[in-house]
Structure 1
Amino acid sequence: MRAVERVSAGAAFWRVHDARRSATAFFDGIGAGINPTRFAPIVNDVDSQAVPVLYAGGNRQGALFESVFHDAPRTTPRYVHAARLKGRVLTRITLARDVVLADLTMEGLPSLGTDRVRLIDSESTEYDTTRQWAEAIHNDNPSLDGLYWISRQNDRCPAILLFGTRVGTRDVAADPASLALDAGMGFDLVASWADKADITLI
């Protein structure tokens, strides 16, 4: 694949995740109560097993917009249920090695023969198609460690997905402290970004 984003060891990203799980835990996107995402679940053509993935944001607001605010309507009125914050925390993670990611920005997408409207800005009704793209990128490019794009909800926020078939928990380190999002400073952070994006917490 010609269009790639190279990210060096030591680069920091942020994850919003269940407080009961490690910030470096990969998930396969399969199971009761788990909704499909834009790029998961996908299947490895080598063993026909689901590929574990790890989503993260390039900054704190990116992590929030790719999780808590992910499904907020794009036109007013915009709202998110505050109950989504319960039991969720924000954690900084750091790459322990260099990674090479498929570039799904407006610069890189033309080389794939698609565009942002189809792959990034599309609604959840198109997730079957977007997952097929992710699956093809994974299976046709064994040297790639994941995907890199700009958040659909906030164009100042990069986001990544790491393939668990190429990147392991040993390749990602988590800060020991996490920020709870349902109270205190964490809730204030969410409320601040919600206000900037004209999103109401209800």
Structure 2
Amino acid sequence: MVNVRPPEKLPGNPTRVTLAAGTELVRVHSARRSATAFNGNPADCFYGGGRFDGTALDDYGFLYAGLTVEAAVCETLLRSIPFDPAAGPRLVQRAAVRGRRLSFLRLAADVTVVSLVAGRDLASVAQDAWLVQAEAAEYPFTRAWGHWIRAHTAPWSQGFVWPSKREPADRAAVLFLDRCPAGAVEPAGVPPIDLDTPEGLRRLNAVLAPYHAQVAP
């Protein structure tokens, strides 16, 4: 449904899901940023950025996370990496893990999000699987739709949850700083893993192996 404008109003009632306090979250993020810090830098309206980032048209802080280690790693590091025609492993470039950290978090409060998991969930916001499956070239459109969904689910929606594109059995989520209570995300008490260390690379490759991928030698 790329290049289709959102309708004037919602066709249904968006599905509300509560991510309960204590829900575990996992992030792959820059080691320069605190694991619990929301990204306050709006994406360009047309270039770069993520699926549901804030922009100048709807400027909000955002925090992406996976609900499992696999979702966090796959969503961050396996974007648009094709399979090798010769059946070798997919290679994650060293630059992609340099300065990055795997952190373990949990919710300190209940958070209510819009579910974009099932077909009926997506239909309630006039969308289909494209919204959560589109590749990066179409993120300007998914961001515009995200802003529209936010506007039509204010003030209750504090984020979205959807199936990870690269690990559909697991979930990815985005939380909105302007609608979450202060301190909604806290460390889970598990030490973070710096991915560009020998131990970090070993553990990362163990996660990537079932996806026929590894960090380039």
TM range (shorter): 0.7 to 0.9
Measured in 1, the distance between the counterparts of 2:160 and 2:142 equals: 12
Instruction: Tell me whether 1:147 sits opposite 2:156 in the alignment.
Output: no
The answer to whether 1:102 aligns with 2:111 is no
- Kindly report which structure 2 residues correspond to 1:64-143, keeping only aligned pairs within 5 A, or say none: 64-73=73-82, 75-77=83-85, 78-107=90-119, 108-116=121-129, 118-142=130-154, 143=156
Q: Deviations over 1:115-146 (max 9, x none)?
A: 11x11221212111100111111122121000
**Residue matched to 2:211:** 197
Residue-pair matches, total: 195
1:26 maps to: 38
Equivalent-residue separation in structure 2 for 1:88 and 1:7 (angstroms)? 26
How far residue 66 of structure 1 moved from its aligned partner, in angstroms, is: 1.6
Q: 1:35 aligns with which of 6, 23, 48?
A: 48
| 8 Å contact kept, 1:42–1:50 | yes
Q: Secondary structure at the match of 2:76?
A: coil
Deviation at 1:106, TM superposition (A): 2.4
Aligned to 2:69: 60
**Equivalent position amino acid for 2:172 in 1:** A
Give, as a single letter, the amino acid of the residue that structure 1 aligns with 2:165: R
Give distance in 2, aligned partners of 1:169 and 1:81: 36
Structure 2 letter corresponding to 1:155: P
Alpha-carbon distance between aligned partners in 1 of 2:81 and 2:41, rounded to the nearest angstrom? 21
Are 1:3 and 2:15 matched, yes or no? yes
- Alignment CA distance shift 1:186-1:156 (3 Å): farther
1:42/1:139 Cα in 2 relative to 1: closer, same or farther (>3 Å)?
A: farther
In the other structure, the counterpart of 2:201 is 187
Query: Which residue identity is paired with 1:96?
Result: A
1:169/1:71 CA distance change after superposition, 3 Å: farther
% same residue: 29
1:172: which partner in 2? 185
2:43, 2:17 → 1: CA distance?
31
With normalisation by structure 1, the TM-score equals 0.87
Residues in 2 aligned to 1:70 and 1:150: alpha-carbon distance in whole angstroms: 14
- After TM superposition, give the deviation of residue 41 of structure 1 in Å: 2.8
Q: Which amino acid aligns with 1:23?
A: A
Contact 2:25 2:66 in 1 (8 A): yes
Aligned to 2:59, the other structure's residue is in SS state coil
Q: Which amino acid aligns with 2:112?
A: V
1:38 Cα offset (Å): 1.0
Deviation for aligned residue 1:169: 4.7
Matched residue of 2:95: which SS? Answer: helix
Conserved 8 A contact 1:106-1:115: no
Query: Among 153, 156, 159, which residue is 2:169 paired with?
Result: 156
TM-score (norm 2): 0.81
Which residue of 60, 69, 82 maps to 1:51?
A: 60
Paired residues of 2:102 and 2:192 also in contact (CA < 8 A) = yes
Query: CA separation in 2, counterparts of 1:113 and 1:30?
Result: 25
